[in-house]
Amino acid sequence: MINIRLEKLRHEMTKFNLDAVIIPSTDPHQSEYVAKHWKIREYFSGFTGSAGVLVLNKDEAALWTDSRYFLQFEDECKEYDINLHKQSIPHAPEHVQWLCDSLDEGAVIGLDFLQFSKAQMDYIIERSRPKNIELKNIPSLVDEIWTDRPALPSFPIDIHPLEFSGESTASKIQKVQDKITNSKADYYLFSSLDEIAWLFNIRSRDVDYTPLVTAYALVGPDNTRLFCDKSRFSTTAIDTFSKLHIEIIDYKLAIAELQKLDVNKKIITDVSSLNYAVFNAVESKFLFQNSIAKELKAIKNETEIAGAKNCMVKDGVALTKFFIWLESELATREISEFEIGKKLESFRKQQDYYVGESFAAIVGYKGNGAIIHYTAPEKGSAMVKNENILLVDSGAQYKDGTTDITRTVWLGGTPSTELKTAYSAVLKGYIMLEQLQFPKGTVGMQIDAFARFHLWQQGLNYPHGTGHGIGSFGMVHEPPQGFTTNPATSSGSTAHAPNQLTTIEPGCYKKGVYGIRIENIVLSQVKQVTEFGEFLGFTPLTLFPIDRQLIDKSLLTVSETAWFNSYHKMVYDQLSPMLNTDEKEWLKGMCNEL
Amino acid sequence: MINIRLEKLRHEMTKFNLDAVIIPSTDPHQSEYVAKHWKIREYFSGFTGSAGVLVLNKDEAALWTDSRYFLQFEDECKEYDINLHKQSIPHAPEHVQWLCDSLDEGAVIGLDFLQFSKAQMDYIIERSRPKNIELKNIPSLVDEIWTDRPALPSFPIDIHPLEFSGESTASKIQKVQDKITNSKADYYLFSSLDEIAWLFNIRSRDVDYTPLVTAYALVGPDNTRLFCDKSRFSTTAIDTFSKLHIEIIDYKLAIAELQKLDVNKKIITDVSSLNYAVFNAVESKFLFQNSIAKELKAIKNETEIAGAKNCMVKDGVALTKFFIWLESELATREISEFEIGKKLESFRKQQDYYVGESFAAIVGYKGNGAIIHYTAPEKGSAMVKNENILLVDSGAQYKDGTTDITRTVWLGGTPSTELKTAYSAVLKGYIMLEQLQFPKGTVGMQIDAFARFHLWQQGLNYPHGTGHGIGSFGMVHEPPQGFTTNPATSSGSTAHAPNQLTTIEPGCYKKGVYGIRIENIVLSQVKQVTEFGEFLGFTPLTLFPIDRQLIDKSLLTVSETAWFNSYHKMVYDQLSPMLNTDEKEWLKGMCNEL
């Protein structure tokens, strides 16, 4: 089927006189997860990983993705005429030079400008210039082939109430308008869906796992335009927005409306979130680069922090019930990874304000835990027994917050020394970040290295970042801050600030054998102020015991053991009031001093 | 006098219709240390620090420099009509926005394009565009005022022999020509003085402390042009170069010759090292950015590494004799910092192949040690007694290598707990980098953080990078690799590679009270190869005991103490054969187990 689609695509390429096409995995808003309408790369490749680019030239169909997805690609695409090209750096546009090298002078590449950011297009333009390669905007390329393409999302839009958001839309818009005035600009243009959800306190389910609304927004000094399907709002919402001078205009009219703006008007925007079609519409009016929402949104307010803490209790309770269930079931039968994931979901569903999972839960038994973004298939997933190692990475969207937690547990038998050494090094790395104090201005890339220290000392490492920002009933991966080795990403280059929510999740993976990852959400706070400035650090919010069967206690320092014990005391103190006697008993056993 | 010069400069500004001028501290080759001819900023400000920019607008003369130089500025410039503007990041062009903000629409800034890199000019152009500010190339601005300006250097040029360089000029040029051929280019343009010294195996003394030659070079497929004063070469050298198809052309003709190149020719170059005048001359022929010499030169060959090791023995012997002298003299008298620096130089002078100091030795007693780039004045420097703390940072140029070492010693009395804690944290940071193993691809900014870990944990820090690459009878600060918190520098963003020479030099400073710094040169090497890739680490080359009177032993781990003892065993084993009985005895005491 995929091969037939590719054949049709080649036919269209001939029709449009194209020598190549680039099909990325993005939507017009540079979103991480995209609505079904935009899953063009998946449609033509069968590859479902969240990162990857499909490139067709005369000779081959090439899928470029990074090490997190190599195993998944082999699994999903082995029967199709698609070659895997391994990226050495996640999201790096390594395919561009390769494609340009493969093309003749004056060749034509077809692409949909809506799916490319300004920076991505600049990069392609630079690489294609020496051979005078033309870049042609072909938004309709797939329409003839993908006849049953899903429409743009049209789910009802909910207003995210003040009790969860902690700040009114009026107040947020005022902050944006102050920025416009201070910058002597006329407009602030928003294109990132999470920024728009934050600004208007709106939520929907356009995108899997993420409560976002497909929209653009233009804030002016006196009024605001929200480009979004009006029929999705309740009349109450339309009325409330109208009083705030917010006009709702059809999503598809956004680019035309932007083009119509007075030539003398000046726009501030976060260019990195704009697609190239929108960028072209506003380029002449662009004043300077700014990501006000990232600046403001990343700093959580008291209500959002309280909500996050509340969610951690709910997640901890759900996980306690889940692991008790798992332990007792495994004593009598084998259970598929898929069933385990569904059961975990059912325990979270019982919690207040539950909306859905924040991403597809990763339940990876033994070697499957080494597939970084593994999803257990409904049919034929591995059967888990009461032995060996299981990795469970999961999270939820609650109306008062978003969660993301990973635990790696030993289910029975005797773990190898190699495994215990690796697990202990991962844990020591996690604790190192918890204990770390760093001066204001320290960026994600610097902090990331500490989580790897103990692994590096033994020649071990992990092929992913050490953590990411997380939203408040928003995106599970929320920029700008995080921890990664890649300086070209916002999570590598952004300085951490107080009152941000970030995950810490070091790991270690052995292909076909095991996956280890330990992940908590932490709150950044000022820890000390000296003549050398403000020093920040992290406080763990996630509440669930870390498996101790895989720890080689002799490898922990006194200080690490003390941290471990104090964390588990906190977990027990905070979760136990919500549990029944049996559950308390079980948790007590998991939270004893090491 | 400075005020009169500034007044004359304002007069010239009026003559040229300038609203502002920017006077940086660079030469046309982006060199760190510059020939006297280029010390324009020093001439007009009296400020002798190596980093700083003088900016004049209608209202004020503003000197921008970073925290390393704040105290020095106060000291040198307090009587002049110059305001200090504090840069938060060293070398950051924070003055540009400030200047543009202070100017009216359509104002004119005068600057000498020879003193600005392409990137610096791009930055100024971008900031000046909103107000239509004009940037005017005024190379002759200072000539009317600075009538006794020193000429361009014309010292004789020495050929650096194969026994020290380890690779012939022919072989190096062949590597460059291979790169040109592989890149389908026609020329490789060199502008960095250290790269030119490396490529041609030439040395002179155009610049203080650095054996460089003022020149440009253009390598073509069959011949090479070296833009440099011919009279500086011996006839033998001219003859040898001629056989290698190297033509020597007058330095001042370089830009004109570059402009004359056939329009269809393509040039590869390291744009970051070009000044804007040269860049303009070759822009249309520029093919792509490459720093071949940095790539090749930074990896030292066996001869260069052997030379470096040999220099460490010589430096260690000189320092042993020096500290024995210091100890014995202080028992009977007070000695000025200046005299101490001169005496240290005299011990190094006794060593084989000694050429000169590699930078002005820093001898900082008590609070003077907190002035990061302190130079003790000939008259009135502090008198050192046999008590309290002394920082000595010094190095030499030997024909077989370049050295740079810092030791902080306690001269007598009882050190405070605060001081011992800080010193121990600095030492622990140093040892952490020595013990660190990191995967190939890890950059300076990531490694830098580890050196600060133990300081950060106590709310301490230091306002400089943790180390820099070092040349082979070349620049004491040699790019590209190093350790710093600044991602915008090559030493922050460059991955370390095997066989590089780099310093590790964490510190801690308390204004007016003490300066602590411990610095060794280390060699990077592959330490382990696993399924996760190659892991690198550092091996110390510098040979001299680290003062132990300031160590709080209880703060060192078993592993840190073991490292300390094994380092001192190596120091004793390698230095003692070169010492007499008394010196051996003294060194033995300094190298005992902790």
- Dihedral, A261, A265, A268, A269 alpha carbons, nearest 10: 20
Residue that has been written with the tokens 């700014």 in this structure: A290
Sign of CA dihedral A228, A233, A238, A240: negative
Does the beta-carbon distance from A485 to B460 stay under 8 Å? no
Q: What is the pLDDT of residues B91-124, one digit of tens each?
A: 778 999 999 999 999 999 999 999 999 989 999 9
Distance from CA of B134 to the nearest CA of A (A): 19
Closest chain B residue by Cα to residue A437: B457
- Give pLDDT tens digits for B434-472: 999 999 999 999 999 999 999 999 999 999 999 999 999
B269: which 2 tokens?
């170059």
Dist CA A10 CA A4 (whole Å)? 10
A521 close to A541: Cβ distance less than 8 angstroms: yes
What confidence tens digit (pLDDT) does each residue in B321-376 have? 999 999 999 999 999 999 999 999 999 999 999 999 999 999 999 999 998 888 89
DSSP sequence for B422-464? HHHHHHHHHHHHHH--EETT-BHHHHHHHHHHHHHTTT---SS
- How far apart CA B477 and CA B490 sit, in angstroms, is 12
Answer whether B536's CB lies under 8 Å from B438's CB.
yes
Residue B264's contacts (CB-CB under 8 Å, 6 or more residues apart) are none
Give, in order, the Cα–Cα distances in Å from B326 to each of A354, B31, B368.
74, 35, 18
Chain B positions in Cβ-Cβ contact with residue A456 (cut-off 8 Å): 436-439, 535
The residue count of chain A comes to 594
What are the residues whose beta carbons fall under 8 Å from the beta carbon of A130, sequence distance 6 or more?
A100
In chain B, what residues touch A436 (CB-CB under 8 Å)? 453, 456-457
Cα distance between residue B307 and residue B173, in whole Å: 22
DSSP H helical ranges for A48-135: 70-77, 94-102, 118-128
- Asked if the Cβ–Cβ distance from A436 to B445 is below 8 Å, we say no
Coil/strand/helix, residue A149: coil
Tokens of B560: 């840190």
With an 8 Å Cβ cutoff, are B449 and A447 in contact?
yes
The pLDDT score that the predictor gives to residue B372 is 83
Residues from chain A contacting residue B456 (CB–CB below 8 Å): 436-439, 535
Query: In the A/B pair of chains, how many CB contacts fall below 8 A?
Result: 73
Share of chain B above pLDDT 90, in %: 88
Question: pLDDT tier at B421 (50, 70, 90 boundaries)?
Answer: very high
What is the distance between the alpha carbons of residues B207 and A468, in angstroms, rounded to a whole number? 48
Give the whole-angstrom CA distance, residue A282 versus residue A273.
Answer: 13
Q: What is the pLDDT of residue B286?
A: 86
What is the pLDDT, as a whole number, of residue A288? 81
- Rounded Cα distance, B54 and B64, in Å: 6
- At A488 the pLDDT is 85
Nearest-angstrom CA–CA distance, B496 and B515: 28
3-class SS at B290?
Answer: coil
Q: For the purposes of burial, counting CB atoms within 10 Å of the CB of B284, is it exposed (0-12), middle (13-18) or buried (19 or more)?
A: exposed
Residue A522: HSE in the Cβ half-sphere, 13 Å Cα cutoff: 29
CA gap A257, A270 in Å, rounded: 18
Is the C-alpha dihedral spanning B476, B481, B485, B489 positive or negative? Answer: positive
**Are the beta carbons of B226 and B246 closer than 8 angstroms?**
yes
Interface touch B457/A436, C-beta < 8 Å:
yes
Tens of pLDDT, residue by residue over A391-407, are: 999 999 999 999 999 99
Q: For the ranges A182-186, A195-199, B6-10, B230-234, which has the lowest average pLDDT?
A: A182-186
Asked if A460's CB is within 8 angstroms of B437's CB, the reply is no
Closest residue, chain A, to B438 (C-alpha): A456
Query: By the 8 A CB rule, do B375 and B209 touch?
Result: no
- Chain A residue closest in CA terms to B445: A446
At CB < 8 Å, which residues of chain B contact A?
435-439, 441-443, 445-450, 453, 456-457, 459-461, 485, 487, 493, 528-530, 532-533, 535
| Nearest C-alpha in B relative to A433 | B453
**What does A79-97 look like in DSSP terms, one character per residue?**
TSSEEEEEESSTT--HHHH
Q: Which of B439, B447, B485 sits opposite A461 (nearest CB)?
A: B439
Q: Are A130 and A105 in contact (CB under 8 A)?
A: no
Which residue in this structure is represented by tokens 């029944």?
A580
Residue B272 CA to residue B276 CA, distance in Å, equals 10
B528 chain-A contacts, CB cut-off 8 A: 459
Q: Which residues of B touch A528 (CB under 8 A)?
A: 459
CB contact under 8 A, B450 and A453: yes
Percentage helix, strand, coil for chain B under 3-state DSSP, each rounded to 5: 40, 20, 35
**What domains are there in chain A, each with its CATH number?**
2-137 (3.40.350.10), 158-290 (3.40.350.10), 302-591 (3.90.230.10)
- pLDDT at residue number A163: 98
In terms of Cα–Cα distance, which of A201, A396, A411, A190 is closest to A308? A396
B461–A533 C-beta distance less than 8 A: yes
CA-nearest residue to A509 within chain B is B532
Q: Which candidate, B326, B183, B158, B305, places its Cα nearest to that of B236? A: B158
Q: Which of helix, strand or coil describes residue A46? A: coil
Residue A485 to residue B529, Cβ atoms within 8 A: no
Torsions phi, psi of A85, nearest 5?
A: -115, 125
Contact A493 B487 (CB under 8 A): yes
Q: Give the integer Cα–Cα distance in Å for A351 and A317.
A: 9
Model pLDDT, residue B294:
82
Cβ pair A442:B485 closer than 8 A: yes
Q: DSSP character for B78? A: T
CB atoms within 10 A of CB B99: 26
The reported pLDDT for the residue numbered B292 is: 82
**Contact B450/A448, CB-based, under 8 Å?**
no
Confidence of residue B295 (pLDDT cuts 50, 70, 90): confident
> Residue holding tokens 């030993």?
A410
Top residue of A100, A182, A426, A446 to mutate, by most chain B CBs within 10 Å, is A446
How near does any CA of chain B get to the CA of A535, in Å? 6
Query: Considering just the CA atoms, what is the radius of gyration of chain A in Å?
Result: 25
Three-state secondary-structure class, residue A541: coil
Average pLDDT over residues B231-251: 97
**Hey, which residues does A255 pair with through a beta bridge?**
none
Q: Reduce the DSSP state of residue B531 to 3 states and report it.
A: coil
What's the rounded Cα separation, in Å, for the pair A170 and A527? Answer: 33
Both tokens of residue A391? 């990795």
ipTM of this complex: 0.90
The nearest CA of chain A is from the CA of B312 a distance in Å of: 28
Burial class of A578 by CB neighbour count within 10 A (0 to 12, 13 to 18, 19+):
middle
B499-525 residue pLDDT tens: 999 999 999 999 999 999 999 999 999
For every residue of A334-387, DSSP letters joined together read: -EEHHHHHHHHHHHHHTSTTEEEESS--EEEETBGGGSTT----SSSPPEE-SS
For B80-84, what is the mean pLDDT? 95
State the Cα–Cα distance between residues B429 and B433, nearest whole angstrom.
7
DSSP B332-395: T--EEHHHHHHHHHHHHHTSTTEEEESS--EEEETBGGGSTT----TTTPPEE-SSSEEEEEE-
pLDDT tens for chain A, residues 1 to 594: 899 999 999 999 999 999 999 999 999 998 888 999 999 999 999 999 888 999 999 999 999 998 878 888 998 999 999 999 999 877 778 999 999 999 999 999 999 999 999 989 999 999 999 899 999 999 888 988 999 999 999 999 999 999 999 999 999 999 999 999 998 899 999 999 999 999 999 999 998 899 999 999 999 999 999 999 999 999 999 999 999 999 999 999 999 999 999 989 999 999 888 999 999 999 988 888 788 888 899 999 999 999 999 999 999 999 999 999 999 999 999 999 999 999 999 999 999 999 999 999 999 999 999 988 888 989 999 999 999 999 999 999 999 999 999 999 999 999 999 999 999 999 999 999 999 999 999 999 999 999 999 999 999 999 999 999 999 999 999 999 999 999 988 999 999 999 999 999 999 999 999 999 999 999 999 999 999 999 999 999 999 999 999 999 999 999 999 999 999 999 999 999 999 999 999 999 999 999
